[in-house]
Amino acid sequence: MPLTPLDIHNKEFARRIRGYDEDEVNEFLDQVIKDYESVIRENKELRNDLMSLQERLDHFVNIEETLSKTIIVAQEAADELKTNAKKEAQLIVMESEKNADRIINEALSKSRKVSLEVEELKKQASIYRTRFRSLVEAQLELLKHDGWDSLESREPSLEPKEIY
């Protein structure tokens, strides 16, 4: 058990002949008591400071652990978000490719249909042209006959005819 300042103060020494000077010993003991009390007080303050610092350290360790866990959770959430975004982007690309293929197929189908219609119109135009040419040639043949010359030489009658 450690000494206390009171133990030092109450200590009595036996007296002997030719012993130490009692006043000098008492003064020294008083100085030791003061210094010992100061050391005890300082030790107590240091222990209190140590406890306070230990509490703060524990608090910061808890904060550090919490932050570490939070960072890990945030990283996992970011990774999951990134993975989901990639999947969604892939789905969008696949859907866009399907739509593009559908649009291309529809355009090709319409193009073929229009091409067939154009060919049909070309055939009809050719037939019409041939018929029209035949008609014009037939009309020219009629104009070449002499019957028209006799009609041109006659004078039309200007008198009105009565029709009853």
Q: How confident is the model at residue 114 (pLDDT cuts 50, 70, 90)?
A: very high
Q: What per-residue confidence (pLDDT) applies to 33?
A: 87
Question: Hey, what are 154's tokens?
Answer: 């006659």
**pLDDT tens, position by position, 29-43:** 888 888 888 999 999
Q: Is 145 inside any structural domain?
A: no
Q: What per-residue confidence (pLDDT) applies to 104?
A: 96
Q: What per-residue confidence (pLDDT) applies to 12?
A: 76
Residue 125, φ and ψ in degrees, nearest 5: -65, -40
Is it the case that residue 74 has pLDDT exceeding 80?
yes
Residue with tokens 């529809």: 106
Q: Is 147 inside any structural domain?
A: no
Q: Is 137 inside any structural domain?
A: no
Q: Is 92 inside any structural domain?
A: yes
The answer to whether the CB of 8 falls within 8 A of the CB of 31 is no
Q: What per-residue confidence (pLDDT) applies to 95?
A: 96
CA–CA separation, 130 vs 115, rounded Å? Answer: 22
Q: Is 117 inside any structural domain?
A: no
pTM: 0.45
Is it the case that residue 149 has pLDDT exceeding 90?
no
Q: Is 115 inside any structural domain?
A: no
Q: What's the total number of domains in the chain? A: 1
Q: Is 150 inside any structural domain?
A: no
CA–CA separation, 135 vs 128, rounded Å? Answer: 10
Domain that holds residue 19: 5-106
CA–CA separation, 65 vs 73, rounded Å? Answer: 12
Is it the case that residue 148 has pLDDT exceeding 70?
no
Residues of the chain with pLDDT > 70: what percent? 88
Q: Is 120 inside any structural domain?
A: no
